[in-house]
Amino acid sequence: MLTYIDRLRGLREDYDLTQAQIAEILGTSQTMYARYERGANELPIRHFITLCKFYNVSADFLLGTTPNPARKQKRIIHP
């Protein structure tokens, strides 16, 4: 099963972007972004949200709760 780190790296590579380019979008250094991709540092939620918007994918997809970034999850409404 892919982790959110694997999915972020995969998206970055699919878009032919460098770690430095993503770091610039996040307003951080390439070194710090590399640490996020290695799992050495936790990715801050503000960066997670920024990357979801940038890649136009849901948080569910990045977190691995849905396999398809385009598929919407049905909401469960409890009475």
- List of residues 6+ apart from 75 with CB closer than 8 A: none
Count of alpha carbons within 13 angstroms of residue 17, beta-carbon side: 20
In this structure, are residues 47 and 28 in contact, taking their beta carbons and an 8 Å threshold? yes
Give the pLDDT confidence score for residue 69 in this predicted structure. 64
pTM of structure: 0.80
Give the pLDDT confidence score for residue 65 in this predicted structure. 86
pLDDT digits (tens, 9 = 90+) for 8-65: 999 999 999 999 999 999 999 999 999 999 999 999 999 999 999 999 999 999 998 8
Count of alpha carbons within 13 angstroms of residue 24, beta-carbon side: 5
Q: Using the predicted structure, report yes or no on whether residue 73 has a pLDDT greater than 50.
A: no
